């Protein structure tokens, strides 16, 4: 548990304070009693690390999000899943990812799991979103941005309770143009209200996502409360941002990833986010050392990280426009805001796979320093800077380590406590039941799948100090990357390429960076927590991944197979061209053989 002195230090730095006992009775009545149903806004960042936002100690300027933190509650022990689609499914339904049908993402699904219950890659029958529950209660339900919850008939937001939606049905897309970002997709599948849609010529993802939401808020019945879900593409690959914002960070990361990792670790200690003596995990084997790069490559990678920060700032800028619209329309004071990330930072690179580089070349992308982050630039930060961004945690997206599942979360709004830092353990499935209780809507459904999350209202009202008891386990699993947290202890298992599929035990209270494995020293505790994980997996329907499972290898294979199905005509055409070019020569050889009996036959 973080000490009160650390909380007060954070308050002096960020304008946050702890909740006093004298404030609790008034706060309870305020949270419980609503004069009118509140509005809800979810601002979901893609691939943001725990310390990426300014209020958590990040380098990017995020003044609008920081203002929401000062107005509300900043959570320090919020957990999500290590991949985007499962997290989104849990966020919108309050149900464990395996019970929603979106246990993982299609891109890394092994063939052994295809079509299995919980692994259909679509929200399955009986799984209801917050929007579907609020819609019958008179709420306007609006969605813009990344969806990624199924590509078949009946899978889009318009089929799951949203009145209006402009949705990207993919894991990502270009931020400047209407085109895909990787060969897994033949196009950028944008849909408006369930129908294919085009993007404007002046498209930039964060700006457009906010613009379209403002349009929907203005065009729908303003007398009704609303639920607005904005799924930003920032900071998913390709990392892209306006050049004038990127320029502000050109020198910020010139010291490299180890310097950044250590700097965030020190800031985390200064802000009281981790104990003063918490160790920092070293870079894993196989990661490059900054000093080993050429001067040119160091400049290029520092610039890529600058674009990452700029993309966060650009997103925050447009979030500010949405907030100003709500203030101007008189809706701000009665709106509950949630700011969080779907998982930790993205480690994948775009410069170490010749197939991807070839695809980029034919699709108008470059990896150069010139014009970095602008149209045509395919940006990424890579595993080393992802490791730095995840500091003081270990590893990053895809993994059950702290860097993959421990992310920021801010909640602010009417009658909620202000300038509070909340250290209680909470998880992504808790959001839906919280919003439904605030709206006065029954969360359980007699004909639907019951929620697994719990409402945070008692915690926010000061009626409870925790949502989960010290001995209550919380399980997380996506594609074999697993974690179980019980109190301040955690077991975790991380798959290839950056893990070894072995279970380890950590004490997060003293070792949030997951440096000292206690499995051998605490065998009884380890066995007990493994038993809890087995019970969790059996309850929700976890399927074990095949031996030697490697998400990067599966992604490469699935991409190649989908690319072959989509572009089958390319090799056929090349074969026909080859035949057309070679056929005259073949005929000439045959003619020569007929005219020259002594011509060699082989």
| Residues carrying an active site annotation | 84, 148
Residue 212, SS3 per DSSP? helix
> Could you give the CA distance from residue 358 to residue 377 in angstroms, rounded to a whole number?
14
Given a contact cutoff of 8 angstroms between Cβ atoms, the answer to whether 405 and 494 are in contact is: no
How far apart, in whole angstroms, are the C-alpha atoms of residue 73 and residue 69? Answer: 6
- Tokens describing residue 238: 């390709």
Tell me the C-alpha distance between 323 and 397, whole Å. Answer: 29
Q: Are 486 and 494 in contact (CB under 8 A)?
A: no
Distances, alpha carbon 223 to alpha carbons 139, 230, 331, in Å = 10, 21, 10
Strand ranges for 198-257 from DSSP E: 226-231
The verdict on whether omega for the bond into residue 497 sits within 30 degrees of 0, i.e. cis, is yes
CA pair distance 121, 155, nearest whole angstrom = 10
C-beta of residue 52 within 8 angstroms of C-beta of residue 60: yes
DSSP bridge pairs for 193: none
Determine how many CB atoms are found less than 10 A away from the CB of residue 445.
14
Query: What are the start-end ranges of the E strands in 98-225?
Result: 140-146, 164-168, 190-192, 195-196
Q: Phi, psi at residue 452, to the nearest 5°? A: -100, -20
The Cα 284–Cα 384 span in angstroms is 9
Cα dihedral value 554, 555, 557, 563, nearest 10: 160
């Amino acid at each position: 548990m973080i000490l009160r002195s650390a909380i007060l230090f954070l308050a002096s730095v960020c304008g946050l304070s702890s909740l006093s006992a004298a404030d609790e009775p008034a706060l309870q009545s305020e949270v419980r009693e609503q004069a009118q149903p509140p509005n809800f806004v979810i601002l979901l960042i893609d691939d943001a690390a725990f310390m990426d936002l300014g209020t958590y100690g990040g380098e990017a300027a995020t003044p609008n999000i920081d203002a929401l933190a000062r107005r509300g509650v900043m959570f320090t022990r919020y957990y999500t899943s290590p991949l985007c689609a499962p997290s989104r499914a849990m966020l919108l339904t309050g149900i464990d990812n395996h019970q929603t049908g979106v246990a993982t993402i299609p891109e890394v699904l092994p063939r052994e799991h295809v079509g299995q219950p919980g692994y259909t890659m679509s929200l399955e029958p009986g799984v209801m979103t917050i929007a579907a529950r609020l819609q019958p209660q008179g709420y306007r339900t609006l969605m813009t941005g990344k969806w990624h919850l199924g590509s078949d008939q009946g899978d889009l937001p318009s089929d799951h309770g949203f009145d209006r939606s402009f949705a990207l049905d993919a894991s990502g897309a270009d931020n400047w143009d209407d085109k895909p970002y990787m060969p897994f997709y033949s196009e950028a599948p944008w849909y408006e209200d369930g129908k294919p849609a085009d993007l404007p010529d002046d498209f930039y993802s964060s700006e457009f996502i906010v613009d379209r939401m403002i349009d929907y808020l203005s065009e729908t019945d303003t007398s009704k409360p609303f639920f607005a879900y904005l799924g930003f593409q920032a900071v998913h690959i390709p990392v892209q941002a306006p050049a004038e914002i990127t320029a502000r960070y050109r020198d910020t990361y010139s010291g490299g990833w180890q310097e950044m990792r250590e700097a965030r670790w020190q800031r985390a200690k200064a802000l009281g986010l981790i104990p003063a003596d918490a160790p920092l995990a070293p870079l894993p084997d196989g990661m490059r050392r900054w000093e080993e790069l050429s001067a040119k490559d160091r400049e290029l990678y520092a610039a890529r990280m600058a674009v990452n920060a700029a993309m966060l700032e650009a997103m925050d800028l447009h979030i500010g426009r949405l907030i100003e619209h709500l203030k101007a329309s008189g809706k701000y004071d009665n709106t509950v805001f949630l700011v969080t990330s779907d998982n930790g930072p993205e480690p994948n690179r775009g410069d170490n796979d010749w197939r991807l580089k070839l695809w980029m070349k034919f699709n108008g992308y470059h990896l150069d320093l010139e014009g970095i982050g602008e149209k045509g630039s395919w940006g990424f930060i890579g595993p080393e800077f992802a490791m730095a961004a995840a500091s003081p945690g270990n590893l990053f997206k895809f993994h059950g380590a702290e860097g993959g599942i421990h992310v920021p979360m801010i909640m602010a709004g009417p009658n909620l406590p202000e300038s509070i830092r909340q250290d209680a353990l909470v998880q992504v499935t808790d959001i839906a039941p919280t919003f439904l209780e605030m709206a006065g809507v029954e969360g359980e459904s007699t004909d639907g799948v019951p929620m697994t999350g719990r409402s945070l209202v008692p915690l926010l009202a000061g009626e409870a100090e925790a949502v989960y008891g010290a001995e209550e386990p919380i399980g997380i699993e996506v594609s074999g990357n697993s974690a179980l947290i019980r109190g301040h202890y955690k077991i975790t298992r991380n798959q290839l390429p950056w893990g070894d599929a072995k279970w380890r035990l950590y004490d997060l209270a003293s070792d949030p960076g997951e440096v000292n494995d206690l499995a051998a020293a605490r065998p009884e505790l380890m066995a007990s927590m493994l038993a809890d994980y087995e019970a969790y997996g059996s309850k929700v329907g976890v399927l074990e991944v095949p031996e030697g499972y490697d998400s990067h290898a599966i992604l490469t294979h699935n991409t190649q197979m989908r690319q072959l199905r989509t572009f089958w005509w390319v090799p056929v055409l090349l074969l026909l061209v080859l035949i057309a070019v070679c056929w005259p020569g073949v005929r000439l050889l045959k003619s020569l053989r007929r005219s020259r009996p002594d011509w060699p036959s082989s």
